A = this chain, B = another copy of it.
């Protein structure tokens, strides 16, 4: 054999996993710039160069980490979405939003890794890091908009958004899943997304912490306002 189940490959997989795990631990402890090949190797009792057998370059490792973390985020919000009953759109949106914020608060370094300036010299590869997870989060946001659209449609009565106003990147892959969502519905999606991301981002980066000691209360209030501004009744 040698194709599957070989001791060699098992070890390889395990070592690969350990590298990522140690990297995540270092990031959690010291921020994104604590991810250094040498520190990882030190932690594992190896030489830094040994890691090159598993990842072509440090950026490759970071890309993989982003993928990993991004997937965890997508899992979290997807699970929340799936758990909440579709019959209560307001509650569903609030659940999604709370899951998003909750994950971010629990994994602030991960949030930075995904949405902020990542590791020092890191440049996201052309194809785009974590395209799957990004797609899933994007789909989730579109689902929020789709759920809210019937109630919020009137807000966009006078807008003139066209499909050509939006890029074909992630959207064209997400659109088919929501055939009833018009261009203005995408604007609504970006509105919701901008709002949530903005609040969470301010909180994570500490630009809110200096101003309020109950970001929790503020977030809940803001979420209620958002839902209300979508023409829905806020639910706990």
Residues of A within 8 A of B (CB): 31-33, 112, 115-118, 120-121, 128, 134, 138, 155, 159, 161, 165-167, 169-171, 186-187, 190-191, 193-199, 201-202, 205, 207-214, 217-218, 221-222, 225, 229
Known contacts A121-B33, A205-B115, A207-B115: does B167 contact A194 (CB below 8 Å)?
no
Contact (Cβ within 8 A) A211 B115: no
Complex CA distance for A184 and B165, rounded to whole angstroms: 36
The interface residues of chain A, by DSSP majority, are classed as helix
Contacts of A112 in B (CB 8 A): 117
Query: What are 27 residue pairs bridging A and B, where the CB atoms are less than 8 Å apart in the complex?
Result: A31-B117, A33-B120, A33-B121, A115-B205, A116-B117, A116-B205, A134-B210, A159-B221, A161-B217, A161-B221, A165-B213, A165-B218, A167-B210, A167-B212, A167-B213, A170-B210, A170-B211, A186-B211, A190-B218, A190-B222, A194-B198, A197-B198, A197-B202, A197-B207, A198-B202, A201-B201, A229-B229
Most buried by B among A155, A193, A201, A222: A201
Contacts of A33 in B (CB 8 A): 120-121
Most buried by B among A134, A159, A171, A214: A214
In the complex, how many angstroms separate the beta carbon of A203 from the nearest chain B beta carbon?
9
Contact (Cβ within 8 A) B190 A212: yes
Contact (Cβ within 8 A) A201 B211: no
Other A-B pairs, 9, CB within 8 Å; known A116-B116, A161-B221, A165-B218: A112-B117, A155-B225, A165-B217, A167-B209, A167-B212, A187-B221, A190-B218, A198-B198, A198-B201
Contacts of A222 in B (CB 8 A): 187, 190-191, 194
Complex CA distance for A31 and B194, rounded to whole angstroms: 24
